[in-house]
Structure 1
Amino acid sequence: MAPWHCGIDDCGTETDAVEELIHHQTTEHAKHECQVCGTIVPDGYFAIRHAVEEHTRAEYVRAYDADSEAVRRREELKEKIEAEADLESVVADLDAVN
Protein backbone atom coordinates (compact mmCIF):
# COMPACT_ATOMS: atom_id res chain seq x y z
CA MET A 1 0.00 0.00 0.00
CA ALA A 2 1.23 3.49 -0.83
CA PRO A 3 2.18 5.67 2.11
CA TRP A 4 -0.12 8.38 3.39
CA HIS A 5 1.33 11.90 3.34
CA CYS A 6 0.54 14.67 5.79
CA GLY A 7 -0.75 17.60 3.75
CA ILE A 8 -0.60 20.17 6.54
CA ASP A 9 1.80 22.99 5.69
CA ASP A 10 5.11 21.44 4.61
CA CYS A 11 5.09 18.71 7.24
CA GLY A 12 6.31 15.84 5.08
CA THR A 13 5.36 13.09 7.51
CA GLU A 14 4.51 9.77 5.85
CA THR A 15 2.81 6.76 7.41
CA ASP A 16 1.84 3.34 6.11
CA ALA A 17 -1.51 3.36 7.91
CA VAL A 18 -4.09 6.09 7.52
CA GLU A 19 -4.96 5.74 11.21
CA GLU A 20 -1.38 6.72 12.10
CA LEU A 21 -1.66 9.76 9.85
CA ILE A 22 -4.90 10.92 11.48
CA HIS A 23 -3.32 10.45 14.92
CA HIS A 24 -0.27 12.44 13.80
CA GLN A 25 -2.38 15.30 12.42
CA THR A 26 -4.51 15.43 15.55
CA THR A 27 -1.67 15.36 18.07
CA GLU A 28 1.23 17.04 16.29
CA HIS A 29 -0.40 19.98 14.52
CA ALA A 30 -2.20 23.05 15.81
CA LYS A 31 -5.97 22.98 15.85
CA HIS A 32 -7.87 24.53 12.95
CA GLU A 33 -10.54 27.21 13.31
CA CYS A 34 -13.32 26.74 10.79
CA GLN A 35 -13.60 29.93 8.75
CA VAL A 36 -17.34 29.35 8.25
CA CYS A 37 -18.54 28.86 11.84
CA GLY A 38 -15.53 29.35 14.11
CA THR A 39 -15.53 25.80 15.49
CA ILE A 40 -12.09 24.58 16.59
CA VAL A 41 -11.24 21.12 15.23
CA PRO A 42 -8.07 19.10 14.76
CA ASP A 43 -6.42 19.95 11.45
CA GLY A 44 -6.28 17.45 8.60
CA TYR A 45 -8.94 14.77 8.26
CA PHE A 46 -11.17 16.08 11.05
CA ALA A 47 -11.13 19.61 9.61
CA ILE A 48 -12.03 18.27 6.17
CA ARG A 49 -14.80 16.11 7.62
CA HIS A 50 -16.18 19.08 9.53
CA ALA A 51 -16.24 21.29 6.43
CA VAL A 52 -17.82 18.65 4.20
CA GLU A 53 -20.44 17.45 6.68
CA GLU A 54 -21.35 20.70 8.42
CA HIS A 55 -21.26 23.26 5.61
CA THR A 56 -22.43 23.64 2.05
CA ARG A 57 -20.01 23.75 -0.84
CA ALA A 58 -20.92 27.43 -1.35
CA GLU A 59 -20.10 28.28 2.28
CA TYR A 60 -16.74 26.54 1.97
CA VAL A 61 -15.88 28.27 -1.31
CA ARG A 62 -16.71 31.71 0.09
CA ALA A 63 -15.01 31.27 3.46
CA TYR A 64 -11.79 29.71 2.11
CA ASP A 65 -11.64 31.52 -1.24
CA ALA A 66 -11.60 28.05 -2.81
CA ASP A 67 -12.79 26.74 -6.14
CA SER A 68 -14.91 23.72 -7.00
CA GLU A 69 -11.79 21.61 -7.66
CA ALA A 70 -10.55 22.23 -4.10
CA VAL A 71 -13.92 21.14 -2.74
CA ARG A 72 -13.91 17.98 -4.87
CA ARG A 73 -10.36 17.09 -3.75
CA ARG A 74 -11.40 17.33 -0.11
CA GLU A 75 -14.58 15.31 -0.67
CA GLU A 76 -12.59 12.62 -2.49
CA LEU A 77 -9.91 12.54 0.21
CA LYS A 78 -12.56 12.20 2.93
CA GLU A 79 -14.15 9.28 1.05
CA LYS A 80 -10.77 7.60 0.48
CA ILE A 81 -9.82 7.91 4.16
CA GLU A 82 -13.18 6.65 5.38
CA ALA A 83 -13.03 3.68 3.02
CA GLU A 84 -9.72 2.58 4.50
CA ALA A 85 -9.55 3.86 8.07
CA ASP A 86 -10.83 2.20 11.20
CA LEU A 87 -12.10 5.47 12.63
CA GLU A 88 -13.40 3.87 15.83
CA SER A 89 -9.86 2.74 16.68
CA VAL A 90 -8.52 6.22 15.89
CA VAL A 91 -11.03 7.84 18.25
CA ALA A 92 -10.33 5.23 20.96
CA ASP A 93 -6.58 5.82 20.59
CA LEU A 94 -7.00 9.59 20.78
CA ASP A 95 -9.28 9.27 23.82
CA ALA A 96 -6.59 7.19 25.53
CA VAL A 97 -4.03 9.93 24.88
CA ASN A 98 -6.23 12.63 26.43
Structure 2
Amino acid sequence: MVPWACGIDGCDAVFEDVESAVLHQTREHQRHECKVCGTIVPDGYFAIRHAFDEHTRAEYVRAYDADSAAVRRREKVKREIETEADLQTVVERLDGSP
Protein backbone atom coordinates (compact mmCIF):
# COMPACT_ATOMS: atom_id res chain seq x y z
CA MET A 1 0.00 0.00 0.00
CA VAL A 2 1.32 3.43 -0.97
CA PRO A 3 1.27 6.01 1.83
CA TRP A 4 -0.69 9.24 1.34
CA ALA A 5 0.97 12.55 2.23
CA CYS A 6 -0.97 15.60 3.41
CA GLY A 7 0.84 18.05 1.13
CA ILE A 8 -0.61 21.27 2.58
CA ASP A 9 1.87 24.08 3.32
CA GLY A 10 4.80 21.74 3.79
CA CYS A 11 2.93 19.45 6.21
CA ASP A 12 4.81 16.17 6.21
CA ALA A 13 2.07 14.03 7.78
CA VAL A 14 1.73 10.66 6.06
CA PHE A 15 -1.20 8.24 6.27
CA GLU A 16 -1.81 4.61 5.38
CA ASP A 17 -5.05 5.39 3.59
CA VAL A 18 -6.40 8.29 1.59
CA GLU A 19 -9.45 8.71 3.82
CA SER A 20 -7.23 9.46 6.82
CA ALA A 21 -5.25 11.99 4.77
CA VAL A 22 -8.43 13.82 3.71
CA LEU A 23 -9.75 13.77 7.28
CA HIS A 24 -6.45 15.20 8.52
CA GLN A 25 -6.58 18.00 5.94
CA THR A 26 -10.15 18.81 6.94
CA ARG A 27 -9.66 18.71 10.70
CA GLU A 28 -6.09 19.89 11.24
CA HIS A 29 -5.58 22.69 8.73
CA GLN A 30 -7.16 26.12 8.45
CA ARG A 31 -10.02 26.61 6.06
CA HIS A 32 -9.39 28.00 2.60
CA GLU A 33 -11.24 30.95 1.06
CA CYS A 34 -11.91 30.40 -2.64
CA LYS A 35 -10.39 33.29 -4.57
CA VAL A 36 -13.05 32.95 -7.26
CA CYS A 37 -16.25 33.14 -5.18
CA GLY A 38 -15.20 33.63 -1.55
CA THR A 39 -16.66 30.35 -0.30
CA ILE A 40 -14.85 28.93 2.75
CA VAL A 41 -13.93 25.26 2.34
CA PRO A 42 -11.53 22.83 4.01
CA ASP A 43 -8.05 23.09 2.50
CA GLY A 44 -6.55 20.28 0.45
CA TYR A 45 -8.77 17.87 -1.47
CA PHE A 46 -12.03 19.69 -0.70
CA ALA A 47 -10.58 23.03 -1.87
CA ILE A 48 -9.38 21.43 -5.10
CA ARG A 49 -12.73 19.73 -5.63
CA HIS A 50 -14.58 22.99 -5.02
CA ALA A 51 -12.38 24.91 -7.45
CA PHE A 52 -12.72 22.42 -10.30
CA ASP A 53 -16.34 21.37 -9.75
CA GLU A 54 -17.73 24.86 -9.19
CA HIS A 55 -15.57 27.01 -11.45
CA THR A 56 -14.03 26.87 -14.90
CA ARG A 57 -10.34 26.19 -15.38
CA ALA A 58 -10.01 29.74 -16.77
CA GLU A 59 -11.54 31.23 -13.59
CA TYR A 60 -9.11 29.18 -11.51
CA VAL A 61 -6.10 30.26 -13.56
CA ARG A 62 -7.04 33.95 -13.33
CA ALA A 63 -7.93 33.94 -9.62
CA TYR A 64 -4.90 31.95 -8.49
CA ASP A 65 -2.42 33.20 -11.08
CA ALA A 66 -1.89 29.54 -11.94
CA ASP A 67 -0.40 27.97 -15.02
CA SER A 68 -1.47 24.87 -16.90
CA ALA A 69 1.00 22.70 -14.94
CA ALA A 70 -0.63 23.75 -11.65
CA VAL A 71 -4.07 22.93 -13.03
CA ARG A 72 -2.94 19.51 -14.28
CA ARG A 73 -1.24 18.74 -10.94
CA ARG A 74 -4.41 19.52 -8.98
CA GLU A 75 -6.63 17.66 -11.44
CA LYS A 76 -4.37 14.62 -11.01
CA VAL A 77 -4.60 14.83 -7.20
CA LYS A 78 -8.40 15.12 -7.40
CA ARG A 79 -8.65 12.17 -9.81
CA GLU A 80 -6.34 9.95 -7.70
CA ILE A 81 -8.22 10.69 -4.49
CA GLU A 82 -11.61 10.10 -6.10
CA THR A 83 -10.37 6.83 -7.59
CA GLU A 84 -9.00 5.52 -4.29
CA ALA A 85 -11.10 7.09 -1.53
CA ASP A 86 -14.37 5.95 -0.07
CA LEU A 87 -15.69 9.49 0.25
CA GLN A 88 -18.87 8.31 1.97
CA THR A 89 -16.69 6.99 4.79
CA VAL A 90 -14.95 10.37 4.99
CA VAL A 91 -18.28 12.19 5.25
CA GLU A 92 -19.55 9.76 7.91
CA ARG A 93 -16.37 10.15 9.95
CA LEU A 94 -16.61 13.94 9.68
CA ASP A 95 -20.21 13.73 10.89
CA GLY A 96 -19.07 11.73 13.92
CA SER A 97 -20.16 8.29 12.78
CA PRO A 98 -17.80 5.42 13.64
Deviation at 1:15, TM superposition (A): 0.3
1:38-79 deviation line (CA, Å, top 9, x unaligned): 000000000000001001011000100100110011111101
Distance 1:96 1:6 in 2: 21
Distance 1:56 1:47 in 2: 14
Deviation at 1:29, TM superposition (A): 0.2
Distance 1:53 1:10 in 2: 25
Deviation at 1:28, TM superposition (A): 0.2
Unaligned runs of 5+ in 1: none
| Residue aligned with 2:96, SS | helix
Amino acid at match of 2:36: V
Q: Which residue of 1 aligns with 2:75?
A: 75
Moved over 6 A (4+): none
Matched, 1:62 2:45: no
- Within 5 Å, which residues of 2 pair with 1:13-92? 13-92=13-92
Deviation at 1:95, TM superposition (A): 0.8
Give % identity: 68
| Residue aligned with 1:96, SS | coil
Q: Normalising by the residue count of structure 2, what TM-score does the alignment of the two structures yield?
A: 0.96
| Residue aligned with 2:10, SS | coil
Amino acid at match of 1:37: C
Paired positions, count: 97
Unaligned runs of 5+ in 2: none
Deviation at 1:7, TM superposition (A): 1.0
Q: Normalising by the residue count of structure 1, what TM-score does the alignment of the two structures yield?
A: 0.96
